[in-house]
Structure 1
């Protein structure tokens, strides 16, 4: 399937995480360790918010592999952002085209997904018909991921992110049962409104794809004082990844099954339970 990365914290150059780590996202596009496929070369995308912008994110996506895209390397070395999402794609059946590359954008929202809706062609029509008619023209591609996004927007993403994602999941699972697909959903999802970042890990069968979040910056600084790039980041800086960017102990924590994290945190807990519901 895919690999992705989401960052929230003190502004950094995109290449600080996309290229520089030992097992960076660009490295994972060619040599993933924990995905179903080692190669994620069916397109890529990065979406970022600017500290000086109007709250609307910029998006750069392309259909080629991330590992040899010179435009991405150039952009990543010059764009600095406090909040960005990046994704390398391994298609689960939909076409390799720019409109199918993540992250997807609607207004101030960014969304990206790793996983799949099982038997999506069988469910696709009914799923799409549940999208708010005013939003339907905004869908440009043919992926299950984009349909999930617009269902979440339809079900109230603007008002309650965990609730809207929970209603989207509940609807997909209910529809799956109607069509004889008992375990229809596999997902890790990142979504942001430019202020906060939410990351979800869930699957209908209870065996979700991997997802990790970084320890608090102060903890990592204490463990590894030699890491220069951590000296100036805020304590609230966090990274969420499909798989760790390196092998140093104490930095990466697996997000549990059926849970979600929000950054900045809304409680002392690093994560909260994720419970699907019917819309």
Structure 2
């Protein structure tokens, strides 16, 4: 599988999360503790938004994250209020740049940890459901990118969470038609540059791990002498496949079949319920 991080809050230098924590994403590329694989060396990607908004920038490479000096240099000099980073462990598709996350369309970024079981059997049906106006945007061969484009097809721009629920519902119904009982295994992160969504879900209700940082007051009360935590604000949130440190009370497990909406002001935690879209929509 894979590992990913997402950050939302006041601008920070990106390497603070990738490199400067005890068990940051770059360390996880070699020493993941809660993933299916210990090593995630089949490429990586970083997508970030500038303080002024607009479409995100992106850097992807097929080299292992731990050995890419360009990533280290970029991360030490880029400051961002919202970014997503991903390290890849392929489930069978080629190691190539177009298969590295985050996937991007317009202002949207999308990362996935997991697998669409039976993807090769379903692939034709899933691809044919993608809006023809979007189809040419698919440049890789992963199930993750197809899931992203299904979400775009089913209304990501106007109803982000509902669109992902419809995309997952469509994959599950297509899977059943092909004899696949548990088609979806996923944690997702996606953003339009203004909000960040994170989802933990699987068809068999045994999803991969996902955590969100506790609120500022809790973290600062537990660790009053930590210099990094003194800089936190009420808006700061970090979502991770596995904790970046072993400090108690900092990381809260996201429940099964749950979506987070992280935004300015009050965040939301809601049930994630896949829906089979209407035939006309599919």
Normalising by structure 1, we get a TM-score of 0.97
Structure 1 ranges of 4+ moved more than 3 A: 265-269
CA contact (8 A) 2:170 2:276 kept: yes
Larger mean CA deviation between 135-144 and 227-236 belongs to 227-236
Specify every segment of 5 or more residues in structure 2 that has no aligned partner in the other structure, as ranges.
278-282
CA distance in 2, matches of 1:264, 1:235: 11
1:71-115 deviation digits (Å, cap 9, x = unpaired): 000000000000000000000000000000000000000000000
Q: Distance in 1 between matches of 2:202 and 2:226?
A: 36
C-alpha RMSD of matched pairs (Å) = 1.1
1:200 match = 199
Which structure 2 residues correspond to residues 69-148 of structure 1 after superposition, within 5 A? 69-148=68-147
Query: What are the superposed Cα offsets for residues 229-279 of structure 1, whole Å, 9 maximum, x if unpaired?
Result: 23233211100000000111100010000001011277575x211001011
> What is the match of residue 258 of structure 1?
257
CA distance in 2: counterparts of 1:14 and 1:86, whole angstroms:
10
Three-state SS of the structure 1 residue aligned to 2:28 is helix
Q: Which residue of 2 aligns with 1:273?
A: 271
CA distance in 1, matches of 2:46, 2:21: 17
TM-score by length of 2: 0.96
Which SS does the other structure have where 2:136 is aligned? helix
State whether structure 2 residue 171 is matched by structure 1 residue 172: yes
Cα distance, 1:162 vs structure 2? 1.0
Aligned mates of 1:179, 1:140 — CA distance in 2: 25
The residue aligned with 1:231 is 230
Equivalent in the alignment of 1:21: 21
- Gaps in structure 1 of 5+ consecutive residues: none
Secondary structure at the residue paired with 2:111?
A: strand
1:52 is aligned to 52
- What's the CA shift for 1:36? 0.5
User: Equivalents in 1 of 2:226, 2:158: separation in Å?
Assistant: 39
Question: What secondary structure sits across from 1:46 in the alignment?
Answer: strand
Residue 268 and residue 157 in structure 1: after superposition, are their counterparts in 2 closer, same or farther (change >3 A)? closer
Shift of 1:159: 0.7
Tell me the distance in 2 between the aligned counterparts of 1:194 and 1:228: 28
Q: What is the count of residue pairs matched by the alignment?
A: 277
Q: 2: CA distance between counterparts of 1:38 and 1:232? A: 32
| 2:157 aligned residue | 158
